[in-house]
């Protein structure tokens, strides 16, 4: 019998976002292949999918040639270290997966006639001089700073994706993801949400970098994944920001986490990492107009679900 379900490859499928994307795609009736080399991912994120006949995991480094027998209808390229600590520890792997990994996955999409969606990032805007950041802003990135390995890899990945679209006619999409949080983030990945929650739950000091006056805007994972699916199903080839425009300072965020965790942890200050963006807020007018998407989960609701997840890890002795 011919395959009737769309066959969809998710690179980085054992990671935080990739695993949630696998869940959503399976719910929409796709046959999902998750590909991951587990460099920052965790098989526990997809353990609940093991044994399904519409799900397959392939352990593979996507910077190497990708061989998938049979048709592939859609490729979601999510493989990449994503937290500042990870890409500072893995600078070459980060550059390679953004450059060579994007080349390999685009090559696969071209050979199979698949649609292709690149997970890009708000980091392409660097330390922005325009606020909030619309897709038309070209950014303010330090190419040789410590974050350059991630920012420039993603900028290269966007350029490569547009080249495959324009030159080879591949049906591509680019999502620029802003700070997203939720269950399955790695407790010690260094990003602000898991860092503050684990510190608060363990009664340790909450470590704010710099003065804490820098801002971020946090999007709940289910909202983000819903927006990305809408983008994949749209006909928009230009980049689209997906994120939550509700912006706050990192210090206010620390106080919010402390309150929601009912913790008494002191807030302590550590030096601001080099090139840490001072402000960030997505301009999501394009996502609203083109996709009819906007976030539906408010911060307190999303954080409650996330804190519950981390409490579960704590109870199992995993943090």
Q: Strand order of the sheet with strand 74-77? A: 55-59, 31-36, 7-11, 74-77, 115-121, 171-177, 240-242
> Which string of x and - marks every residue 78-97 that binds ligand UDP (by CB under 6 A)?
-----xx-------------
DSSP state of 53: T
Query: Quick one: which of 179, 241, 244, 281 contacts ligand UDP (CB under 6 A)?
Result: 179
Distance (Å, whole) CA 208 – CA 215: 12
Identify the residue whose tokens are 């966007």.
158
Q: Does 153 bind ligand UDP (CB under 6 A)?
A: no
Distance (Å, whole) CA 6 – CA 30: 5
Nearer residue to ligand UDP within complex by CB, 2 or 271:
271
Q: Which two tokens stand for residue 57?
A: 């995991």
Query: Quick one: which of 250, 257, 263, 284 contacts ligand UDP (CB under 6 A)?
Result: 250
Q: Does 273 bind ligand UDP (CB under 6 A)?
A: yes
SS3 117: strand
Is 150 tagged catalytic?
A: yes
Query: Quick one: which of 31, 103, 112, 191 contacts ligand UDP (CB under 6 A)?
Result: 191
Of the residues 65, 125, 137, 150, only one is catalytic, namely 150
Q: Which two tokens stand for residue 235?
A: 């006909």
Q: What phi and psi, each to the nearest 5 degrees, are found at residue 101?
A: -65, -40
DSSP state of 87: H
Nearer residue to ligand UDP within complex by CB, 170 or 197:
197
Which of 13-21, 23-31, 102-110, 184-192 is the region at the interface with ligand UDP (rule: CB under 6 A)?
184-192
Q: Does 297 bind ligand UDP (CB under 6 A)?
A: no
SS3 content of the chain, % helix, strand, coil (to 5): 40, 20, 40
Task: List residues binding ligand NAD (CB under 6 A).
Answer: 11-12, 14-18, 36-41, 61-63, 78-82, 97, 101, 119, 121, 177, 179-180
Angle value at C-alpha 189, between 41 and 148, nearest 5 degrees: 95
Q: How many residues bind ligand UDP (CB under 6 A)?
A: 16
- Applying CB under 6 A, the residues found at the interface with ligand UDP are 83-84, 179, 190-192, 195, 207-209, 214, 216, 250, 272-273, 276
- Positions marked active-site: 150
């Amino acid at each position: 019998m011919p395959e009737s379900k769309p066959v969809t490859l998710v690179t980085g499928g054992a990671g935080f976002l990739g695993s949630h994307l696998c869940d959503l795609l399976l719910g929409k009736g796709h046959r999902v292949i998750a590909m991951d080399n587990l460099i920052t991912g965790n098989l526990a994120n997809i353990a609940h999918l093991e044994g399904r006949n519409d799900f397959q995991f392939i352990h593979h480094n996507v910077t190497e040639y990708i061989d998938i027998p049979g048709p592939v209808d859609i490729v979601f390229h999510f493989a990449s270290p994503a937290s500042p600590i990870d890409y500072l520890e893995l600078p070459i792997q980060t550059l390679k997966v953004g450059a060579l990994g994007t080349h390999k996955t685009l090559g696969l999409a071209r050979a199979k006639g698949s649609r292709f969606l690149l997970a890009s990032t708000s980091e392409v805007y660097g330390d922005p001089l325009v606020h909030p950041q619309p897709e038309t802003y070209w950014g303010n990135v330090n190419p040789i700073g410590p974050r350059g390995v991630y920012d420039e890899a993603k900028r290269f990945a966007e350029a490569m994706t547009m080249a495959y679209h324009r030159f080879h006619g591949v049906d591509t999409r680019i999502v620029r993801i802003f700070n997203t949080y939720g269950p399955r983030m790695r407790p010690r990945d260094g990003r602000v949400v898991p860092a503050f929650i684990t510190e608060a739950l363990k009664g340790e000091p909450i470590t704010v970098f710099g003065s804490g006056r820098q801002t971020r805007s946090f999007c709940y994972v289910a909202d983000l994944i819903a927006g990305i699916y809408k983008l994949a199903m749209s006909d928009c080839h230009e980049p689209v920001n997906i994120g939550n425009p509700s912006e706050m300072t990192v210090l206010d965020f620390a106080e919010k986490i402390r309150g929601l965790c009912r913790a008494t942890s002191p807030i302590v200050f550590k030096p601001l990492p080099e090139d840490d963006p001072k402000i960030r807020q997505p301009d999501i007018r394009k996502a609203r107009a083109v996709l009819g998407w906007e976030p539906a989960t408010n911060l307190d609701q999303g954080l409650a679900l996330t804190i519950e997840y981390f409490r579960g890890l704590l109870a199992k002795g995993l943090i």
